[in-house]
Amino acid sequence: MSGKGGVGKSLIASYMAVALARSGLKVGLLDLDFHGPSSHLFLGLRSKRPGLTLDKVEPVEGPLGVKVMSLAFLTPEEESPVIWRGPLKSSAIIQLLTEVNWGNLDFLVIDMPPGTGDEALTLAQTVKYIDGSLIVTIPSDVAKNVVARAINFAKLVGIKPIGLVENMSYFYCPGTNTKYYIFGDSVVETLSSKYKIPILAKIPLDPELPEYVKNGRILIIDKPESPLSSSFNEMVSNLLNILNNINSSSTKSGR
């Protein structure tokens, strides 16, 4: 989640799903950004279509077996706009959760649209148990203030924020190990300290990413030793540790 658009939630959701699958887990990815779906593009799934059975929709199979569902797979043209009010969005979310054959998953990653509107509210009211939300930000005071609203919203509706991710945190100069913070100083430490939410990872910019997306390739699969890939490995490792601790605490308390 993030209260702000343009922070890279879809990249984080897509590559996190791949990194989880690379760890041997069964993963699904649901893109609920109806007006601007893009997770499928990061996974090289442009122009794919889901399958149909008698009573279920079969999600598109993405890299490393990730099951992917997006409204982008259902619109007649890639540029077709989705002009929906709240009730239609809420109905679509329920259908995507209940009428898609997700199978037996270890993780269902949900890519949310910006803001704290109908989609987030419907999700909170529909899904009985959500492990938690990841809050995505960038190095920007403007983003920090908007993201703080998303954190407070998530707490109010019962989708506990369990981790912070700072995207576009820094840039490695090619051929050197020098980090450049081209968008300014990190703000994620301030958010972590104020709201007591752990930092999962700081994701670097990678100038090769646009070319990989254009060609339908997955950078963190093709270049597993890259700084980008390493940062997602770190994020997934930290996330799994947090969830293990949460589950252990719940077991001890009898929940």
Residue 243 located in a structural domain: no
Handedness of CA 177, 181, 182, 183 (dihedral sign): positive
Q: Which domain holds residue 220?
A: 9-236
* pLDDT over 90 (residue 13): yes
Best CA proximity match to 32, nearest among 166, 122, 161, 102? 122
Q: How confident is the model over 73-113, as pLDDT tens digits?
A: 988 777 778 888 888 999 999 999 999 999 999 999 999 98
Residue 67 located in a structural domain: yes
Determine the pLDDT at residue 109: 98
Q: Which amino acid is at 166?
A: E
Pairing between β-strand 133-137 and β-strand 179-180 as defined by DSSP bridges = unpaired
Residue 137 located in a structural domain: yes
Residue 201 located in a structural domain: yes
* pLDDT over 90 (residue 143): no
Instruction: Determine what percent of the chain is predicted with pLDDT higher than 70.
Output: 96
Residue 72 located in a structural domain: yes
Q: What is the CATH number of the domain that holds 72?
A: 3.40.50.300
Residue 152 located in a structural domain: yes
Residue 244 located in a structural domain: no
- Angle ∠(106,112,117) on CA atoms, nearest 5: 135
User: How many angstroms separate the CA atoms of 160 and 153, rounded?
Assistant: 9
Q: Tell me the CA end-to-end span of the chain in Å, nearest whole number.
A: 26
Determine the pLDDT at residue 140: 85
Instruction: Give me the number of domains the chain comprises.
Output: 1
Residue 246 located in a structural domain: no
Mean pLDDT, range 125-154, rounded to an integer: 88
Determine the pLDDT at residue 54: 81
